[in-house]
Structure 1
Amino acid sequence: MTTASTRSESRRLTGHLGPVGIVFMVVAAAAPLTVIGGNMPLGMGIGNGAGAPVGFAIAALVLLVFSIGFVTMTPYVPEAGAFFSYVTVGLGERMGKGIAVVALIAYTAIQIGIYGYIGWAISDTVAHYNGPVIPWPVYSFAVLAIVAVLGYRHIELSAKVLGVALALEIGIVVILDAVMVANPGPAGITFTSFDPATFTQGALGIAILFALTGFIGFEATAVFRDEARDPERTIPRATYAAVLLIGAFYAITSWAFVVAIGPDEVGAVAQQTLDGEGNMLLDTTGDMLGGLGRDIMNVLLLTSLFACVLSFHNVIARYQFVLAGKGLLPARLADVHGRHHSPSFSSVVQTVTAAVIIGVLALLGIDPLVGVFGSMAGVATVGMVTLMLTTSVAVLVFFLRERASGRVATTLVAPALAVAGLAGSLWLVLSNFTLVTGGSVTLSTILAAIPFVGLIVGFLAWRPSRSLSGVEHHQRNRQ
């Protein structure tokens, strides 16, 4: 069979993705429109109200500092795998395997959460327009089937689909931002949000917390290393571009909402959204762009969720592919499709895994929003901050140990600042975890522990790889 999966000797993927293509993949994973509709009201309603834009700006600054050390180390990590590869080089294979388990848990959790969210969102939209009432799992499985087809094929097809979806959702928000600023609320065009007296009131930490969850996925640029046109140039450019684009999008849009609604009223409006008495994004869109604009925004919310779940499917499939190539997962997961040059078998396994988990949650009657999305987003948030913190430690240790050439600012100062910033962020997430999950203290504690249990299991289950990795070959050649 000519299209059967083949095992290449190098087990490497191929492609010609440039910075723009990779940025589409990772920004789509961050689901910017979904964050504006969900995280922004949370940051304003139970955070610091009109000061929420500063929360997004601070989160972007922390992640930008993280990115400096991350991309500075890129030339020393000549293989895909993102956090796993970086931590392995900096802290050794044992810790690398532990962090690989955390990555799989975090990405799988957010993907399952989005499947629950999009199933509910499609069902709610159909019902809103007087369509048939169909259970949310039906829509989730329909989306999963489409994702399975796209994920099985070459990555550039997914990049094109994500590019269209992302352009549309960003486009309508830019239009909405412009109209809101052109038609300000009772306070007029105001920059009160950036006044320390404003953004320090309330809970700035909560605003930063929900801002951080809105960036999940940006760091996946390195996962597409093997499919990049020029990895040592493409990956750094894509990483910086992703952080700056996502951060600017969130901060400017949340500020535009403050202008449109008014700094004194925006917190109360956001709280009404959390209480189920309105929808801050859709209601404001209706006021500014009319009924048609509201309908378009509703549809694009769905495409945003789809883009997000497709991007995470691709990320997880490639993580499994890399781990299998290093002998840490079954070798079959490292198969490369003969025609599509994709991690086809890994993609199929990821599809089956997601289908099984969604099926179990559906049979248990778990609520798709609070039970599925809320809980899984909480697990993913703890996992992702832990991953970035550990990676920053690995970068710092690597440059201290190797005394690699480079500026101190990028090899030592930036990673050290990132460690401090991410440690503080992890404390914010854990100390306010019930707000992320929406569950009880007991349930939240269990969910928060899952990534750390995965880290311990991976660490203890370590055994030497069967052969040298590309990283180790590279290190030996440098010596």
Structure 2
Amino acid sequence: MSAPADSTTAHSTTSVVTSPVGSLTGKLGTTSIVFMVVAAAAPLTVIGGAAPLGMLLGNGVGFPALYAISGVILLLFAVGLAAMTRVVPRPGAFFTYIGYGLGNRMGLAAAFLALLTYTTIQVSVYGYLGYILELTFTGLGAPSIPWWIWSLTMVAAVGVLGYRHIDVSSKVLGVLLLGEIGIVLLLVLVVVVTGGADGLSFTSFEPAQVTSGSPAIGLMFAIAAFIGFEATAIFRDEARDPEKTIPRATYAAVIGVGLFYTVASWGLIMAWGPDKIMAAVAEDPGGLILRTTERYLGSSGEVVVNVLLITSMFACVLSFHNVLARYQHSMAGVGALPSGLGRVHHSHLSPHTSSFAQTITGGVLVLLSGVLGLDPVLEVFTWFSGVATLAIAVLMAVTSIAVIVWFSRSTAPRSIWRTVVAPSLGLVGLVVAALAIGANFPMLVGDVDAAGVPRWGALSLGLVGLVLILPAIGWVQGTVMKQVRPQAYERLTDSLT
């Protein structure tokens, strides 16, 4: 990991009190930004948890190919996203680009949907992390402590790091990310060197295997595993050379994550053999990565993976905390949220008030989940991650439309590939993914009847309702803003030349 360049200075903010809205500045390089957004994707957690479920509920042995297909879809999406970062000199990603392309009210609708997306995915991981910590320490003989207390401890730890300079978070995330990626690649290397269970093959990429079972459900799990890579643009103000750094980080993140998921999931299948992997997955999906590691790296390797699974989830919530803090800071900067959230700390140079607000939000939601007696895995993790998965697919699809529309009206330099062809192809893939997620949403959130059959019950309808209600709030805010504060409304998307 190359350490981020040295210190930053905040523009127009000599003190927190005298500068209600400050500008974030910095010299983060491509590597640092990639580490932060890839950490949000939680690679080890995906391979250990989501990949086995994708095989079991999706297309079985052919599942690794869906990671490659998802990577191509999201790379096409990233082409349009990168094109916008070069001509829209603002952080904010989804809500900024959608605002420029489809109007300010759509931009505000997207802003609230993005806040819902990143908040729900963060809380879902807090729930799972609390559960794992409770299980781990109880197994070591420690007194039994409720999962939500462990989760609140993690909220506090993330809050401390998020309050400080972004360099601190980037270094912590870099170390944790290298650890989790390193152990998985070591596992795959050993599998390859030993020839796996039944010899190496590329059965997973044969068309008959890719289209077997339920590939639509598999695609849903595969797309969800990439959540976080698109947040590179939110760090624009803290990047060393944003016109170059942000596009490079975006491409590096999606390509790196796509290759890692494809190779690692293929390695899991080779470790057990194409004919035996499904039986191993069905026996215990969540424990597959640990059993595989114990088989090829011994008991010490299993312990390392167990520890890194915990640090992987911690890195995930820390990364999303930083994204949320900067999203709120960007919205405050254009008047969409209270100006207090736009303050920049005089020494840490961080969006400290926004970070603190996000810590409180995460803590309240975790505490509420604990008070209501929700199961940390079957309810907190499943429900909240289901909402985030649907919301992110919708956001990326709408962003692709916004990119195409904006460049069709703009006189800015452009290429047909970057501004029309690639975004259009990405849009097709994202619409298919969004439809697959929507159609299978009850299964995704565990809304089943007495016989275990997924159904559109009150739970599914209520959670999908959040994906509709939050954007509606943003739309209404935009309508009111246009009438009451027209100048502020126009400043949401200043004209670009």
Superposed pair shares fold, TM > 0.5: yes
Q: What is the alpha-carbon distance in structure 2 between the residues aligned to residue 73 and residue 6 of structure 1?
A: 34
Displacement of 1:3 in angstroms is: 9.6
The aligned counterpart of 1:134 is: 145
The one-letter code sitting in structure 2 at the alignment partner of 1:5 is V
Query: Is the Cα contact below 8 Å between 1:335 and 1:343 reproduced in 2?
Result: yes
Displacement of 1:10 in angstroms is: 6.7
Q: How does 1:255-274 map to 2 (within 5 A)?
A: 255-274=266-285
Indicate how the Cα distance of structure 1 residues 7 and 263 shifts in structure 2: closer, same or farther if over 3 A, else same.
farther
Query: Is the Cα contact below 8 Å between 1:79 and 1:470 reproduced in 2?
Result: no
The answer as to 2:30 corresponding to 1:22 is no
Displacement of 1:433 in angstroms is: 1.2
The alignment of Structure 1 onto Structure 2 pairs a total of residues equal to: 472
The aligned counterpart of 2:156 is: 145
Q: What is the alpha-carbon distance in structure 2 between the residues aligned to residue 313 and residue 296 of structure 1?
A: 25
Correspondence for 1:373 among 374, 381, 386: 381
Aligned CA-pair RMSD: 1.7
Q: What is the alpha-carbon distance in structure 2 between the residues aligned to residue 88 and residue 271 of structure 1?
A: 45
1:324-370 Cα shifts (integer Å, max 9, x gaps): 11111111111111111110011111111111111111001000001
Q: What is the alpha-carbon distance in structure 2 between the residues aligned to residue 235 and residue 7 of structure 1?
A: 31
The answer as to 2:423 corresponding to 1:412 is no
Displacement of 1:414 in angstroms is: 1.0
Displacement of 1:304 in angstroms is: 0.2
Q: How does 1:217-296 map to 2 (within 5 A)?
A: 217-274=228-285, 279-296=287-304
- The alignment-based identity, stated in percent, is 47
Q: What is the alpha-carbon distance in structure 1 between the residues aligned to residue 18 and residue 107 of structure 2?
A: 25
Q: What is the alpha-carbon distance in structure 1 between the residues aligned to residue 489 and residue 348 of structure 2?
A: 27
Q: What is the alpha-carbon distance in structure 2 between the residues aligned to residue 236 and residue 334 of structure 1?
A: 25
Q: How does 1:282-361 map to 2 (within 5 A)?
A: 282-361=290-369
**Consecutive unaligned residues in structure 1, runs of 5 or more:** none
The aligned counterpart of 2:402 is: 394
1:420-439 Cα shifts (integer Å, max 9, x gaps): 11111100101111232122
1:92-121 Cα shifts (integer Å, max 9, x gaps): 111000000000001000011011010001
Q: What is the alpha-carbon distance in structure 2 between the residues aligned to residue 355 and residue 125 of structure 1?
A: 22
Correspondence for 1:450 among 447, 466, 472: 466
**Consecutive unaligned residues in structure 2, runs of 5 or more:** 1-12, 449-455
Indicate how the Cα distance of structure 1 residues 384 and 447 shifts in structure 2: closer, same or farther if over 3 A, else same.
same
Displacement of 1:54 in angstroms is: 0.5
TM-score by length of 1: 0.95
Q: What is the alpha-carbon distance in structure 1 between the residues aligned to residue 144 and residue 15 of structure 2?
A: 40
Q: What is the alpha-carbon distance in structure 2 between the residues aligned to residue 383 and residue 86 of structure 1?
A: 16
The aligned counterpart of 1:208 is: 219
Query: Is the Cα contact below 8 Å between 1:50 and 1:193 reproduced in 2?
Result: yes
1:29-59 Cα shifts (integer Å, max 9, x gaps): 0000000011101111111111111011111
Query: Is the Cα contact below 8 Å between 2:44 and 2:181 reproduced in 1?
Result: yes
Q: How does 1:70-219 map to 2 (within 5 A)?
A: 70-219=81-230
Indicate how the Cα distance of structure 1 residues 177 and 348 shifts in structure 2: closer, same or farther if over 3 A, else same.
same
TM-score by length of 2: 0.92
Q: What is the alpha-carbon distance in structure 2 between the residues aligned to residue 97 and residue 338 of structure 1?
A: 29
The one-letter code sitting in structure 2 at the alignment partner of 1:399 is F
Query: Is the Cα contact below 8 Å between 2:21 and 2:340 reproduced in 1?
Result: no
Query: Is the Cα contact below 8 Å between 1:77 and 1:471 reproduced in 2?
Result: no
The one-letter code sitting in structure 2 at the alignment partner of 1:326 is V
Displacement of 1:184 in angstroms is: 3.2
The aligned counterpart of 2:451 is: none
Query: Is the Cα contact below 8 Å between 2:39 and 2:312 reproduced in 1?
Result: yes
